[in-house]
Amino acid sequence: MGSRMPPDLLAIYKGLLAAYGQQHWWPGSGPFEIIVGAILTQQVAWKSVEKALAALKAADLLNPETLLCAPLDEVAALIRPTIYYNEKAKKLRSFLSFLQERHHGELSDLFALPVAAMREELLSVHGIGEETADSIVLYAAEKPSFVIDAYTRRIMQRLGLISGKESYAALRALFMEKIPRDVKLYNDYHALLVRHGKDRCRSRAPLCSGCPLSDMCAYAATTK
């Protein structure tokens, strides 16, 4: 039975956490590896990204200095499993040029900016859109900026909390206004939404039986 009251965002988080446990995204990776991963993961399964990261590491290219100097075609060949590899090689180059020119190649210099300014600068880089910018701010710089992705939208829509047509900015604002600005919380909440999305909201077909959010889900309520 679905409740008449719209579920609040913290209750959803708690439900997901109880069902899946902490996700531990990007454990033990340094900030640079996280940024490279954030760019490479665009529209790709994470498993493919891991292969590419391993290849870059083996070629000693997983640091700003050597990666900036590496030929584009060499980088592209190494990140081949991540689809759109030529485009992504250029995107990595764009970020590295930006980092060199704007911040002397120092991530700590970039990370010293306030969240809004850092986000703004990142968005000016070719290949870094809103989701990637927020992923970098949150997971690499470890500052609170909620990441919205396709799963987040789909899940919120099924819960009856949004129409689905909201802008990225509107959804991000919704989360940032309704839950505490806590890096750990943002980190795990986004990861949990992705995890839940993969398990339950991959296709259009409803999978409400056994769903950890079924008692909050508008879709479940209307299909029973």
Partner DNA sequence: GCCCAGGTGGGTA
Partner DNA sequence: TACCCACATGGG
Residue closer to DNA by CB (options 161, 188) is 188
Task: Tell me if 75 contacts DNA by CB under 7 A.
Answer: no
Residue closer to DNA by CB (options 38, 159) is 38
The three-state DSSP-derived secondary structure of the chain is CCCCCCCCHHHHHHHHHHHHCCCCCCCCCCHHHHHHHHHHCCCCCHHHHHHHHHHHHHCCCCCHHHHHHCCHHHHHHHCHHHCCHHHHHHHHHHHHHHHHHHHCCCHHHHHCCCHHHHHHHHHCCCCCCHHHHHHHHHHHCCCCCCCCCHHHHHHHHHCCCCCCCCCHHHHHHHHHHHCCCCHHHHHHHHHHHHHHHHHHCCCCCCCCCCCCCCCCCHHHHHHC
Q: Scan residues 88-117 and list those touching DNA (CB under 7 A).
A: none
Residue closer to DNA by CB (options 96, 130) is 130
Q: Scan residues 121-140 and list those touching DNA (CB under 7 A).
A: 125-133, 135, 139
Q: How far is the CB of 137 from DNA (least distance, A)?
A: 12
Q: Which residue stretch of 11-19, 172-180, 190-198, 214-222 sits at the interface with DNA (rule: CB under 7 A)?
A: 190-198
Residue with tokens 């997971």: 139
Q: Which residue stretch of 12-20, 61-69, 81-89, 108-116 sits at the interface with DNA (rule: CB under 7 A)?
A: 81-89
**CA-CA distance, 129 to 135, in Å (whole number)?**
10
Task: Tell me if 86 contacts DNA by CB under 7 A.
Answer: yes
Q: How far is the CB of 124 from DNA (least distance, A)?
A: 8
Residue closer to DNA by CB (options 2, 55) is 55
Residue closer to DNA by CB (options 2, 152) is 152
Number of residues located near DNA, criterion CB under 7 A: 38
Binds DNA by CB under 7 A, chosen from 55, 64, 85, 214? 85
Binds DNA by CB under 7 A, chosen from 46, 58, 66, 182? 46
